[in-house]
Amino acid sequence: MPETFDRELEERLIRYARIDTESDEASPTTPSTERLLDLLRLLVAELREIGASDVTMTDYGAVLATLPATVEGNAPTVAFLAHVDTTNAYNGCGVEPIVHCAYDGADIRLPKGDDVVLSPAALPYLASKVGDDIITASGDTLLGADDKAGIAIIMTMARHLLAHPELPHGPLRLCFTPDEEIGRGVHPNLPRDLQADVAYTLDGADLGEIVYETFSADKATVTIQGVSAHPGDAKDVLVNALLLASKIAMTLPHATLTPETTADRQGFIFLYQMSGNAAQAEMQLILRDFELEGLHAHGELVQLVCAAVQATEPRARIACEITPQYRNMRYWLEQDMRPVELAREACRQLGIEPFSPPTRGGTDGSRLTELGTPTPNLFTGMQNIHGPLEWISVQDMARATELCVGLAQLWSKETGA
């Protein structure tokens, strides 16, 4: 491709990464935090500046825009999506990106944090990126390439296509969502407002990764009501909710069913938050599995453990509520693999051999696919997300941008969706 995207992508990612966009699961608002609007409003302004059409922000915080078709006919409308929020599982405030130009293959020692080092010996993918420009944070925050790399890629693609109307493509829709990290990225109205026949999220990892299989996900919220009493007069009165929560946590299987003990196609139960006091406590767990049978089994196990602990202390009240989050996109995409096959073809046109590993997570595409808009996930290059060792290759981002440009052109030759 004659145009090199490297410097534009580098500049965009650095600019977006410096904006604090942590989402907040405890917030009842949409978007969940005011700070998400800082980046969303910036994207509205940038989309208008590059000449996109129909630029708008919905009342639920999604930014939408259109690139009008450059071909005649009824080519399908294709959407590209990324999310603006970063996880609150690790500090994402005050990000200071660092560009390590022409990586030489040595350890990358970050200046902040407690001896934070990216070692190619421990990170084989990093070892394969000698000569690339590597972007990291400074060691005491995450970088936020998840998913600001996706934003940078989509914006760069959009700017390029608008500057080159001779490139054939059908109608394209761009979408930037809030709150993906807390499972609220796809509002029920988004498929209607997106108006796309097919979509792609830019939220994947290694070069060539085309994902059409994700976890299915539920959330379990366990609430424990104890009996409060002054500790000096607590004998035979106090029922400590925190101790009951601890019993539940310790009764759940630890050796075979947690994130740190599972891999590949194994599901898990993850206790990620516990709060409260002696009078009342709350536990938040996420349940993950590639198959619905396994997901339901995880939920039944949590409920069984809660019932068992409840039986040991009838004066307490223990409730377990399980709510659906998203489902494996494979259930729908395997019925029509054209979105996946065209992405693979676009990869091969770039000399990249595509591969499709099952992803131990989910994307906005999981929910969008379930709601009727088939949405595979494309690579961006992001690595070691949700922690201080997060990094990304600028050149991987450039290839992802080229992939999107090529994919838009491939879909222009299709009719219907």
What does pLDDT average to in each consecutive run of 10 residues of the chain (417 residues)? Answer: 84 98 93 96 98 98 98 95 95 96 97 91 97 97 97 98 97 97 93 97 97 96 96 94 97 92 95 96 97 97 97 96 95 96 98 95 92 97 96 98 98 80
Q: Report yes or no: 133 and 101 within 8 Å, Cβ to Cβ.
A: yes
The catalytic residues are: 85, 180
The CA-atom distances, in angstroms, between 213 and each of 197, 226, 329 are: 19, 42, 6
Q: Please give the domain boundaries of the chain with CATH numbers for all domains.
A: 6-214+328-411 (3.40.630.10), 216-326 (3.30.70.360)
Write down the pLDDT at residue 139. Answer: 95
Q: For 227-263, give one letter per residue: b (16+ CB within 10 A) or e.
A: bebeeeeeeeebbbbbbbbebbbeebeeeebebeebe
pLDDT of residue 417: 52
Residue 140: predicted pLDDT:
95
Residues 6+ apart with CB under 8 A from 54: 64, 65, 66
Question: pLDDT tens for residues 335-347?
Answer: 999 999 999 999 9
Predicted pLDDT at 416: 59
pLDDT value, residue 183: 87
Residue-level pLDDT at 160:
98
